[in-house]
Amino acid sequence: MAIMEFLNPGRAPYTARERDLIGTAHARQARAHFDRHPAYRPTPVHTLPGLAGTRAVHVKDESGRMGLGSFKALGGAYAVHLLTERHGGGTPVVCASAGNHGISVASGAREAGVGCAVYLSHDVPETFAQRLRALGADVRRDGDDYEAAMAAAQRAAHDHGWRLVADSSWEGYTEVPLDVMRGYTVLFDELTGPGAPLEAPTHVFVQAGVGGLAAAAAGYVRDRWGEQPKIVVVEPEGAPCLIESARAGRPVRVQGSHTDLGRLDCREPSLIAHRLLSRLADLYLTISDDQADAAARLLAQHGAALSACGAAGAAGLLRVTRAGRAALGLDAVSRVLLVGTEGSVEPK
């Protein structure tokens, strides 16, 4: 499959409608929640002057987030806590996961004192299953890909009366995944205010599976820094669901092809994420597995020990074409923000 780059024709100004969904007010609320958590600390930022012909690249390193190893520690656990606050405890939660989302949900469930089942497809590394069991989760294998595991989790929620905590959204199911996305905005809020580690970015490159993090980034960035920063959504060439949905003007499921970027291997976008990104993102592009691996090796030399998935945003920055750079105004004075979404978790 050819690597793609797509300038978003639907780009439109951020409005009060988007602010109601996601923005700085929601980030402050989520951050106040995490401020009470004993394991919560803002994660570090690595600054790489001159990378990719820019003034500086800033990498928000989520590999140590709350001892759970990825930015997703901020999403699923937050949604579980809100569910138990709204509806009371006692009812188990269930989710599907490629690894990190399940770890966050299981952690939140343990803290809230409710049961948790996590469905993994057969291709998810056993490393994740072991970590989930250590958090008290009932790990169940079902299906050959994330979508099959999600279908199994939905069936279990229906059959047992459990509460589904998904990081994707669809018609009729938006409240919980929106809470998950609002949790993610905490990592961007850590970049602002007194003692903030960097000035406003001119560009944000953010990787996407179903698109929850990318949409959280877009909503927060537009609310905090306005229309000027350019937002670039980076996907694996084997799972380009957001770029193809942007082309089609509606959410579409892609057939895709094999990718080693397991936590980004999603064939259908989150409905909320697609709707937000279709207005707020400037450019979509895809990367190869080899490009993500190379980006991870490069960032490791600068103190950011990330998986290939965690370095996918950097891979996008490094491979954007000359035409893409021109469209984005990416040059020697640009200040680029990347999210190193997870540590080196793949088994060798």
Is residue 183 one of the residues assigned to a domain? yes
Query: Domain count of the chain?
Result: 2
Q: Domain boundary residue among 109, 135, 166? A: 166
pLDDT over 60 (residue 346): no
Q: Which amino acid is at 341?
A: T
Q: Any idea what DSSP says for residue 159?
A: H
Q: Domain boundary residue among 166, 199, 233? A: 166
Cα gap 141→119, rounded to integer Å: 6
Is residue 173 one of the residues assigned to a domain? no
Q: What is the pLDDT of residue 348?
A: 37
Using one digit for the tens of pLDDT, what is the confidence trace for 130-179?
999 999 999 999 999 888 999 999 999 999 999 999 999 999 999 999 99
Residue 347 pLDDT grade (very low, low, confident, very high; cuts 50, 70, 90): very low
Domain shared by 111 and 227, yes or no = no
Domain shared by 294 and 272, yes or no = yes
Is residue 171 one of the residues assigned to a domain? no
Domain shared by 205 and 320, yes or no = yes
Q: How far is CA 166 from the centre of its chain?
A: 13
Domain shared by 152 and 16, yes or no = no
Q: What is the pLDDT of residue 344?
A: 85
Give first-to-last CA distance, the chain, whole Å.
Answer: 26
Domain shared by 224 and 313, yes or no = yes
Encoding tokens for residue 217?
């980034």
Q: What is the pLDDT of residue 195?
A: 63
Cα gap 17→320, rounded to integer Å: 31
Domain shared by 14 and 102, yes or no = no
Domain shared by 244 and 152, yes or no = no
Q: Name the phi and psi angles at 173, rounded to 5.
A: -140, 95
Using one digit for the tens of pLDDT, what is the confidence trace for 51-66?
999 999 999 999 999 9
Which CATH number do you get for residue 99?
Answer: 3.40.50.1100
Is residue 90 one of the residues assigned to a domain? yes
Using one digit for the tens of pLDDT, what is the confidence trace for 86-109?
998 899 999 999 889 999 999 999
Q: Domain boundary residue among 166, 201, 217? A: 166
Using one digit for the tens of pLDDT, what is the confidence trace for 16-63?
999 999 999 999 999 999 999 999 999 999 999 999 999 999 999 999
Which residue, among 133, 21, 63, has the nearest Cα to 343 in the 3D structure?
A: 63
Residue 345 pLDDT grade (very low, low, confident, very high; cuts 50, 70, 90): low
Domain shared by 40 and 128, yes or no = no
Encoding tokens for residue 31?
């951050």
Domain shared by 64 and 100, yes or no = no
Listing from the earlier edge strand, what are the strands of the sheet with 163-164?
Answer: 138-141, 116-120, 93-97, 163-164
Interval 114-124 mean pLDDT? 96
Is residue 320 one of the residues assigned to a domain? yes
Domain shared by 270 and 128, yes or no = no
Interval 257-261 mean pLDDT? 94
Domain shared by 45 and 193, yes or no = yes
Is residue 197 one of the residues assigned to a domain? yes
Task: Report whether 336 contacts 52 (CB < 8 A).
Answer: yes
Is residue 345 one of the residues assigned to a domain? no
Domain shared by 48 and 110, yes or no = no
CA angle 138, 182, 306 (to 5 degrees): 65
Domain span including residue 152 = 76-166
Is residue 119 one of the residues assigned to a domain? yes
pTM of the model: 0.96
